[in-house]
Amino acid sequence: MNRIFHKSSESMQELEDKSVDLMVTSPPYNININYGNKWENGKLISSKGKKYKDNLDEENYRNLLEKTINETKRVLKDDGQIWFNIKNRYDKGNMIPPFWVMDFFQDMYLKNIIIWNFDWGGSTNKRFCSRYEYVFFFTKNKDKYTFNLDDVKIPALNYRPDRYKSQLKNPSDVWRISLVSGNSPERTEHPAQYPEELIERIIKVGSNKNDIILDPFMGSGTTAVVAKKLERKYVGYETEKEYIDIANKRLSNG
């Protein structure tokens, strides 16, 4: 497959039923932010990259996600899985956790809610600084799905050879993985880029070589880059041509 389509993922007629092994994505957060410009002390200090405002009408936003999720379920194999990254939002002084997305997955099985914890980000003086996002892990089949635990085990801090066979252990459901900083080698001009390390763990544990990985909100191509590195195939959708160009450049350099 190995292709990124320049269109909305609300319709994926290019993909056959039950043809995808794993979907991982981070949709627009719809948090009413102007992306693409860099501000400091209220002044514009740089302007580059694609500009867009993340402020869909709430009903249209949820309809977009629902249509994309329904299409994903259509193209997902019977033993396939979905990993869905989303964060809290704020409206009129209230925090709105994203648990409403589970309404779109009533016919799937929720296996984990991963807390993706990072060590820096925006600041505020009226509440504690947010340093986490969610990754929902759903499977299409209750019992039959890929889970390559040995490929993602981590060193145990308190390894005791008299009690454990290995000094490696199952990661918890709290993953401490840094955001992509401005000076990171993987940094692009995309304003909401998630780290390769996060996607690498998901693709390793949830798929096998030559499996097809879908990202319906491809952005700068991180999912495709990691899939290629791990010898998987990728397919994605992205409405902004500039981001597709960034993704293809990353893929050609990999």
Q: Where are the chain's structural domains?
A: 3-253
Ranges 29-38, 96-105, 145-154: which has the least confidence? 29-38
Does the CA dihedral 251-184-27-239 come out positive or negative?
Answer: negative
* CA dihedral of 48, 238, 193, 133, whole degrees rounded to 10: 140
Q: What's the one-letter identity of residue 53?
A: K
219 backbone φψ class: left, alpha, beta (φ>0; ψ -120 to 50): left
18 backbone φψ class: left, alpha, beta (φ>0; ψ -120 to 50): left
DSSP 78-105: EEEEEEEEE--EEETTEEE-GGGGGGGG
Q: Residue 178: pLDDT above 50?
A: yes
pLDDT at 155: 87
pLDDT at 190: 54
**Superfamily classification of domain 3-253:** Vaccinia Virus protein VP39 (3.40.50.150)
Buried b (16+ CB within 10 A) or exposed e, 102-138: eebbeebeebeebebebeeeeeeeeeeeeeebbbbbb
**Mean per-residue pLDDT, 240-246:** 91
Q: Tell me if the pTM is above 0.95.
A: no
**Residue 190 neighbours by CB distance under 10 Å:** 22
Are 145 and 139 contacting, i.e. CB atoms less than 8 angstroms apart?
A: yes
pLDDT in tens, 41-72: 444 445 454 444 456 688 899 999 999 999 99
